[in-house]
Amino acid sequence: MKQNILLIIGLMLVNASLFAQNMSTEQIPYRKGPLWGYASPDRTITVTPIYEETNFFSEGFAAVKKGGKYGYINRMGQVAIPFNYYVAKPFRQGYFDNPAKRKTDTVLFAGASLRADGYEICINTKGVRMPQCPAINENTVSDGKQADTIPMKSYALVKANGDLYDKIIDDYAIGDNKYYISTKNGKYGVFNNVFEVVIPYEYGQMKRLPVNNGIYLHVEKNGLQGLLNGDGTVYLPVENNEVSLFKPAGGTECLVISKNGRSALKDMKLNDLAAGVFNKIEYDKEGGFVLTDASDLKGYYFTVTGKEVRPAYKSVRSVNGGRFIYVTNESRRSGYIDNNAREFFDD
């Protein structure tokens, strides 16, 4: 059966590893017309746009493209490694085990390819091929997913009435009152600690949402979905095609509510986060939402800052840990937008 609830906790990094890739945002790839350079966060040009492509700086170097091939520049915009490569990846820290010294030697390296078929080698910061590629120690990250069901418990509750319920699924408390999600004749309902039915047994599915502030029950009836408060009062009418709960890292809990082919993004008070309704709203692993309108144009909602980029692009993807999105318009021009909705391009 299709899951009724989608709870995703955005990716959260553990303590930074010594060998983690260090992507800088002090200079941001900036496009002016067809050419690329760099700008500071306030959009002041720091490296004149003369390149076919630029990428974020990493470990003090950035891969840039000129004359159809890639090379590397330093933060001052000076060419550090000539334009010899068909592929040029960011510099990062790796290590070699050195048994003679009983330690590991750290080193900067980048994956690059001198061949059109993309065969990669590792180079150092002078562009010299390394005899072997260093090992890397990746950050550990969550896969972003959490089960939408509460672990099964065992209950020794004695029925006050033999036909009150068939099986208890879950329980929760509101103040001094205890409530039990249970089934009867294949339907879900809720009774309390004095054996009163507070939510009738009429729902095809019922699950408690793991929300920090309050008790909410996700329910399904006749193929439609809604939310109830823990005391049985209606929070969101059971008239939606889908109701999904998200808890992005750095943001607050929010809902995507879909009805009749239209979706809205709301906070837990049912206020709009992104203005209006959309044909599709997709959660992004970096903690935002891709917004798609009726014209199939895409925008973005940054959960960390609460900033919205209205749909105007053919494609949108988050980059640099969700601090930016990389957008492409209908003319195939691309550029970066930061999480304050500032554009780093000028057509």
CATH 2.40.128 fits 248-346, yes or no: yes
Q: What is the pLDDT along the chain (347 residues), one digit of tens a residue?
A: 344 433 332 222 222 233 345 578 899 999 999 999 999 999 999 999 999 999 999 999 999 999 999 999 999 999 999 999 999 999 999 998 877 766 677 899 999 999 999 999 999 999 999 999 998 865 533 333 443 444 556 666 666 556 889 999 999 999 999 999 999 999 999 999 999 999 999 999 999 998 887 899 999 999 999 999 999 999 999 999 999 999 987 778 999 999 999 999 999 999 999 998 999 999 998 889 999 999 999 999 999 999 999 999 999 999 998 999 999 999 999 999 999 999 999 98
**pLDDT for res 20:** 40
**pLDDT for res 15:** 26
3-state secondary structure the chain: CCCCCCCEECCCECCCCCCCCCECCCCEEEEECCEEEEECCCCCEEEEEEECEECCCECCEEEEEECCEEEEEECCCCEEEEEEECEECCCEEEEEEECCCCEEEEEEEEEEECCCCCCCEEECCCCCECCCCCECCCCCECCCECCCCCCCCCCCCCCCCCCCCCEEEEEEEECCEEEEEEEECCEEEEEECCCCEEEEEEECEEEEECCCCCCEEEEEECCEEEEEECCCCEEEEEEECEEEEEECCCCCCEEEEEECCEEEEEECCCCECCCCCECEEEECCCCEEEEECCCCCEEEEECCCCCEEEEEECEEEEEHHHCEEEEECCCCCEEEEECCCCEEEEC
The reported pTM is: 0.83
**pLDDT for res 152:** 57
CA distances, 189 to each of 32, 206, 230 (Å): 60, 8, 11
Q: Where are the domains of the chain?
A: 1-6+148-236, 28-123, 248-346
**Beta-strand pair 205-209/197-203:** unpaired
**pLDDT for res 13:** 23
Only one residue has tokens 């318009």, namely: 329
